[in-house]
């Protein structure tokens, strides 16, 4: 049930980078355990910042995006046309589908169960391969 005066608007900001990297900041997640267990990918970084205003979400997104671009020597994808957006979305969905087919449902369910044991920081962000690759370059 929605609290009085609260909006059900969902805000997600995503940037597509070279080498199939993406950075996404969201103010909500329908089910973080499912996201963690089944939808994470090594080059797809996700931050969930519940209750954060869109302006602050954008500021955090831009700040982190600069960090990853610097740390991994990446650039933004420059084609921001609607055609390119839909092509990237299709490619992303295809990769996600292939990843899901390879994922063991039993392991995914175990990961969902163990998700509750994670810290709040671990629950609200997925850094994929970023930390390891940034440390190697640094």
7 lies in a domain?
Answer: no
CA distance linking residue 52 with residue 10, whole number of Å: 11
Structural domain including 125 reads 12-130
3-class DSSP state for residue 90?
helix
64 lies in a domain?
Answer: yes
44 lies in a domain?
Answer: yes
CB 33 within 8 A of CB 115: yes
18 lies in a domain?
Answer: yes
* Residue 51 scores a pLDDT above 50: yes
CA distance linking residue 91 with residue 86, whole number of Å: 9
Instruction: Specify the range with the lowest mean pLDDT, choosing from 3-12, 25-34, 50-59, 111-120.
Output: 3-12
* Residue 128 scores a pLDDT above 70: yes
37 lies in a domain?
Answer: yes
3 lies in a domain?
Answer: no
Show the CA angle centred on residue 119, arms to residues 99 and 108, nearest 5°: 25
Rounded to two decimals, the pTM is 0.74
Question: pLDDT tens across 21-46, in order?
Answer: 999 998 876 666 666 666 678 888 98
Show the tokens assigned to 6: 């609260």
Mean pLDDT confidence for 90-105: 79
Structural domains in the chain (count)? 1
């Amino acid at each position: 049930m929605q609290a009085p005066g609260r909006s059900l608007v969902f805000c997600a900001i995503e940037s597509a980078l070279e080498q199939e990297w993406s950075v996404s900041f969201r103010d909500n997640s329908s089910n973080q355990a499912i996201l963690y267990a089944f939808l994470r990918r090594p080059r797809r970084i996700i931050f969930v910042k519940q209750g954060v205003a869109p302006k602050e979400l954008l500021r955090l997104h831009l700040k982190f995006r600069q960090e990853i671009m610097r740390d991994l020597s990446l650039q933004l994808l420059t084609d921001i046309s609607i055609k390119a957006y839909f092509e990237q979305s299709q490619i992303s969905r295809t990769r996600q589908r292939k990843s899901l087919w390879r994922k063991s449902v039993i392991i995914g369910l175990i990961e969902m169960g163990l998700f509750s044991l994670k810290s709040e920081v671990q629950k609200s962000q997925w850094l994929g391969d970023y930390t390891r690759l940034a440390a190697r370059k640094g």
